[in-house]
Chain A
Amino acid sequence: MSIEKLIEEERKSIKIVEEAKAEAEKIISDAKKEAQKIIDQAIKKEYIEEYLAKEEKNATKDAKKITDKYEKEASRIKQISSDKLQKTSNIVLKETLKFD
């Protein structure tokens, strides 16, 4: 009877280990599936498009800053004082009426 108990215990123990092995295989199999998903996403058209759209948005935002900077500078250039305009015109006038 005691030996039978031990055999029964051994049988249970084998089952526990086998169940653990099966679970381990499932964990690895799930991980492989998840890994493939990650790879698939990286090469997926939608993901690439989404990534590029995000990058485009960032670049456009930075481009706007550049455009604003130049517009500000262009606006400053256009604000020429009448005094400066007159002085420069005097130089041109003088040169126009200068003879050899």
Chain B
Amino acid sequence: MTKNISSMQNEIQRRAQQESEKTLSEARKEAQRIINSSKDRSEKIRIEKIKPEAATMRRKIIGSAELDGRKSIINAKEEILSKVFDFTEERLQKIAQGKDKGVNYEEIIFEMIKEAASKIDEDKLLIAGNKTDHSYLSSKLSSIKQKLGKELNRKFDLEIIKEPHNYTGGIIIYNADKTKIYNNTIEGRLLELQSRMRGRISKDLFGQ
């Protein structure tokens, strides 16, 4: 009888132990599930709310760097293009000053007059030049007129404008009442060329 009681006592203890262990084990599992679920939820919040904001911010920062970078490339190319045109202008100045012996500036002046006369398409023309060209044109007006008439097969009345203009070289031609004007100065030609040839020069220099 005592043995039976002892055995029953042990059984009661074993069951109590087993039940409490089961209860605790289930509680630990549930606790882990709750924690995991909250982690998933917080990640979802991050994905839905914070990450888009971070992505927008990133796009802005990266986009701005890309934009500034492209600007710096454009500026570098512009700097080189300006260098080319400035260097060419210096060479043209030397030509206009007669310092480049390889180029006949007087022939260039004549071609400039011829081109302008042809475009204005009137008999009476007023020619303006800088101080140096003004003297040359005044002294050679008669022969220029003759040569021009011969080459364009037309009789011209040329007149030099008394006040010399202030530019590197070349000429400006007007019709008699100054309603038509043809700017054939070196600066004018170079400027026109800069806009016309910028793409081609850029391609030659930078390959795109």
Contacts and interface: CB of A to CB of B under 8 A. Distances in A.
The size class of the interface chain B forms with chain A is 35 or more
A63 B92 contact: no
Interface string B107-147: 01001101100100000000000000000000000000000
Interface in A69-88: 69-71, 73-75, 77-78, 80, 84-85, 88
Interface string B28-54: 101110110111011101100110011
B24 A20 contact: yes
B31 A63 contact: no
Give the interface SS of chain B, mostly helix, strand, loop or mixed: helix
A interface SS class: helix
A67 B45 contact: no
Nearest to B66: A66
Contact of B38 (A9, A39, A48, A95): A39
Given A59-B62, A69-B69, A92-B88, A32 B197 contact: no
A70 B72 contact: yes
A89 B87 contact: yes
B34 A51 contact: no
A66 B62 contact: yes
Given A55-B57, A92-B84, A38 B38 contact: yes
A44 B148 CA distance: 87
Contacts of A95: 193, 197
B180 interface: no
A9 B13 contact: yes
Contact of B73 (A24, A32, A48, A73): A73
Given A28-B31, A80-B83, 7 more contacts: A21-B20, A23-B27, A28-B34, A41-B42, A51-B50, A52-B53, A64-B65
24 contacts: A2-B2, A2-B5, A17-B20, A20-B21, A23-B24, A24-B27, A28-B34, A31-B34, A34-B34, A39-B41, A39-B42, A42-B43, A51-B46, A64-B65, A67-B65, A70-B73, A73-B73, A74-B75, A75-B76, A91-B204, A92-B197, A96-B88, A96-B193, A99-B115
